[in-house]
């Protein structure tokens, strides 16, 4: 009974502290506490030095039925995003992820749209980690993707103002994504080479079989 009570108290405290992160609007338990702590550190510095509000919103299930046609789902997600940012203080940037929809986006106030390269952040720092087919759990992938994307948004803004963030994770986020991309390229190339070897061997066997016939 005491063990159960201790577990419940610990869980309540952990959940409560997680909910107090001012830069995470929703995380559905998908961001590791260490990543959350680093997000606070980066968010605080970006707000203090750059005057920008950065956020993360990640949901395991955003409530939209995947059976609905894609065009309609996208329209529904746009409505969700509009409601998400309507009360946020400007300037803001929000990394938003819906795991069940395999969807990621960055929402920005107008003054940041020429500063943060949405496609670069998503394609280089977020999506490769979310899409990786490896032994890492969903929890590990979402934690890394959120931290990487959040940090890169901050770095992009800082770079535009010639400011170096003390909390920056630098190239670490991109290194992880680059390693994954290289792994995939190697895997594909290896598959092509293996396929070519199999074809050559089959031709060799056929020729030998024809000679012996």
Asked whether residue 49 is assigned to any structural domain, the reply reads yes
Rg value, the chain, Cα:
23
DSSP strand E in 37-91: where? 53-59
Asked whether residue 34 is assigned to any structural domain, the reply reads yes
Burial 188-208 (b: 16+ CB within 10 A, else e): eeeeeeeeeeeeeeeeeeeee
Q: pLDDT band at 74, cuts 50/70/90?
A: confident
Top pLDDT among 213 and 158 is at: 158
Spatial contact of 137 and 97, defined as CB atoms under 8 Å apart: no
In CATH, what number is assigned to the domain containing residue 68?
A: 3.10.310.50
Asked whether residue 168 is assigned to any structural domain, the reply reads yes
The total domain count for the chain is 1
Top pLDDT among 196 and 17 is at: 196
Taking the C-alpha atoms of residue 175 and residue 40, their distance in angstroms, rounded to an integer, is 22
Threshold 0.75, pTM exceeds: no
Lowest mean pLDDT among 15-19, 71-75, 98-102: 15-19
pLDDT tens track for 138-197: 898 999 999 999 999 999 999 999 999 999 987 554 544 444 444 444 544 555 676 567
Asked whether residue 212 is assigned to any structural domain, the reply reads no
Alpha helix segments (H runs only) across 51-171: 70-85, 118-121, 127-131, 138-160
What is the domain range of residue 63?
18-188
Asked whether residue 5 is assigned to any structural domain, the reply reads no
Taking the C-alpha atoms of residue 116 and residue 52, their distance in angstroms, rounded to an integer, is 12
Asked whether residue 1 is assigned to any structural domain, the reply reads no
Taking the C-alpha atoms of residue 27 and residue 193, their distance in angstroms, rounded to an integer, is 42
Distances (CA, A) of 98 to 9, 26, 47: 30, 11, 25
């Amino acid at each position: 009974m005491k063990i159960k009570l201790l577990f419940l108290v610990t869980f309540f405290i952990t959940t409560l502290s997680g909910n107090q992160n001012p830069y995470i609007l929703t995380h559905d338990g998908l961001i590791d506490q260490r990543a959350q702590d680093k997000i606070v550190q980066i968010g605080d510095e970006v707000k203090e030095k750059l005057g920008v509000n950065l956020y993360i919103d990640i949901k395991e299930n955003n409530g939209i039925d995947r059976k609905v046609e894609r065009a309609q789902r996208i329209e529904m997600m746009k409505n969700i995003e509009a409601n998400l940012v309507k009360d946020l203080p400007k300037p803001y940037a929000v990394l938003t992820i819906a795991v069940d929809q395999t969807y990621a986006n960055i929402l920005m106030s107008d003054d940041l749209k020429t500063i943060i390269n949405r496609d670069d952040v998503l394609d280089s720092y977020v999506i490769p980690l979310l899409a990786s087919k490896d032994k890492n759990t969903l929890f590990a992938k979402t934690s890394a993707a959120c931290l990487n994307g959040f940090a890169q948004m901050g770095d992009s803004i800082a770079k535009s103002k010639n400011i170096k963030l003390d909390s920056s994770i630098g190239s670490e986020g991109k290194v992880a994504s680059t390693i994954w991309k290289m792994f995939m390229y190697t895997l594909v190339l290896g598959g092509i080479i293996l396929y070519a070897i199999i074809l050559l061997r089959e031709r060799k066997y056929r020729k030998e079989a024809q000679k012996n016939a």
